[in-house]
Chain A
Amino acid sequence: MPADIRTVLQGGAALPRRPLDLEAATLRARWLSWLRRIRVTAVVLLVCLLIAGGVPVVTDWLETTTPPPAGPPSRQGFVPARPGQPTHVLTDLEIEYPYLVASDGSGGRLPDDDCRPQKQECRLDPTRAAVTYGVAWAGDEFPGDTRCRITLEDASGEEVGARTFSLTVLDPSLVRPRLTETAIEVDREPSSASAACEAGDYAPGPGYRLDLMEIRRRGPQRTQLIFEVVFLVPEPDTRMCHLVVHLDDGRTRRFDDFTLTTRRNVRERFTVPIRRRSVSDAEVSCRTYSLD
C-alpha cells in the first residue's frame, strides 16, 4: 500500500528520549549571551586598536611621502652599510664653524676674498657648521643612490648636530680639493665629525628600456630621435647607455657611451649628425654603470 511522505517521516522521526531541560537551556543561553558580549567587546576593542594603530601608520606614510623639512633629518631608520657592501664612503671630513653666510645668501667655506665679516659683507651663523668631505666608493662597484649621514660631536663626544642626505657619485673617488660641502644645524660648536652611508641598492641589468617614438628632421644634416623611457626596475638609477642608428643602406653607426639617469615615462631626445632620409631605425641599449 502506498505510503504518504508525511506519514513516513512522522514514523521515522525520533521522539525525545529526555524531556526538555529548560534549566540547562537557560544556563546555556546565559553563557551564549556572555559569549556574544565578549565577542562584541573584543571587536570594539580591536577596531579601537586598529584606529589607534592606524594613526601612526598614516603618519609614517605621510612622513615618507612629503618632502623632508629644512631642519636636520631624523636618525630613525638609518642603517650603515656593513663591510663589503656597495656604498659610498665619505672621507676627509673637515668642519668650518661658525657658518659664514654671505650677503647674497650663499655661505659656508668661502674663499677669504669673498667673505670679510669685518667689512659686513658676510655674517657668522653660530647655529650651523659647514662640513666638507670627499667621496669614494667602498669597493670597485658603483653603489647607486645611498643615504649618508654626517654626525657632528662636541669635545666630550656628545652629538651636537647631524644631517642625512642622498648621495650618488659616479666617480669612484672624488677627493680633495674637489670637496663637497654641506651645512648642518648644530646646538653648539662641534669639534669632530663622523660619517656613514647605507648600502646602495643598485639593481643589475639594463634598468631602462628606450622605445623609439619618432624620427624628426632637424636641419639638412641632422636628425632628432625621440625615445620613451620605460623603467625595467623600480628605481634604475644611473646606467651606461649607447645609441645605435641604423641607416638605409644597411650600415649602422654607434655613438659614444653616455650615462642615463631619468624619470619614468619621460622622452629622451638625441640629435645625430645624419640626414633624416638616411636614418631607418635607432635603438638605445643600457647596462649597469661601470668605468670600463
Chain B
Amino acid sequence: MRGKQLSEDLVAFCHEQHPRLVGALSLYCGDADVAEEVAQEAIAYAIRDWKRVRQKSSPSAWLYRVALNLAHSHYRRRATERRAQERLPSPPAPSFIDDVEVGSAVRVAVSRLHRRQRQALVLRYFLDLSVAQTADLMECSEGTVKSLTHQAIRSLRRSDVLVDLVEVSDAR
C-alpha cells in the first residue's frame, strides 16, 4: 500500500464488494449506519493488505471475515459503553436493539438472533457462500453451520414478519 494509485483490480474489488458488504453488515449489525462505517473500515484493511489478500484463493471471503470481526469488535465496544452507562445514575442508554433502524423488520428480526446464527445466516444466504466456505470462515464444522442456519431460520419463523419463511436446501 505504498503507491498513491490503487491498482485497477483493487478498485474493482472494492466497488464490487462494497454494496454486498454493507448489505451483509446491515443484517448482521441491524444498523445501516454502523454497517457503512464497518464496511468502509474493512475496505481500508483490504487496501492496506491488498498485496497479500490478492494472493488468496478467495479475497472476498477474507474481506467478509475482517468485516465480521470488525463488526463484532464494534459490538463489544458498544456493550462496554452500555454497561458503563448503566452504572451511572442517569437513565440507561438505549440497547442495541432499540438503536436498530425501524425501517426494516427483517434487520430487526435478524439482529435478534444469536451472533453465530447471524453470522451463519448472512454468510450462507446473503453473501451466498457455500457451507464449506462458511464453515472455514467461521472456523467451525460444516455440520455446525447447517445447525446454526437451521436454528436461525427457525427463530426467524417465530417472528411475526417472517412466518412464511421457507428453508432452502443446504445441498451446496
Contacts and interface: CB of A to CB of B under 8 A. Distances in A.
Contacts of B19: 15-16
Given A10-B126, A15-B19, A20-B43, A29 B168 contact: no
B6 A14 contact: no
Nearest to A31: B44
A26 B6 contact: yes
Interface string B22-42: 111011000010011001110
Contacts of B162: 3, 8
Interface in B91-118: 101, 104-107, 109-110
A2 B165 CA distance: 5
Interface residues of B, number: 43
A4 B126 CA distance: 11
B45 interface: yes
B125 A13 contact: no
A274 B38 CA distance: 89
Nearest to A9: B126
Given A14-B107, A20-B18, 14 more contacts: A6-B168, A9-B27, A10-B126, A12-B104, A14-B23, A15-B19, A20-B15, A22-B14, A25-B47, A26-B44, A28-B40, A28-B44, A29-B1, A33-B1
Interface of B: 1, 6, 11, 14-15, 18-19, 22-24, 26-27, 32, 35-36, 39-41, 43-45, 47-48, 101, 104-107, 109-110, 121-122, 125-126, 128, 153, 156, 162, 164-168
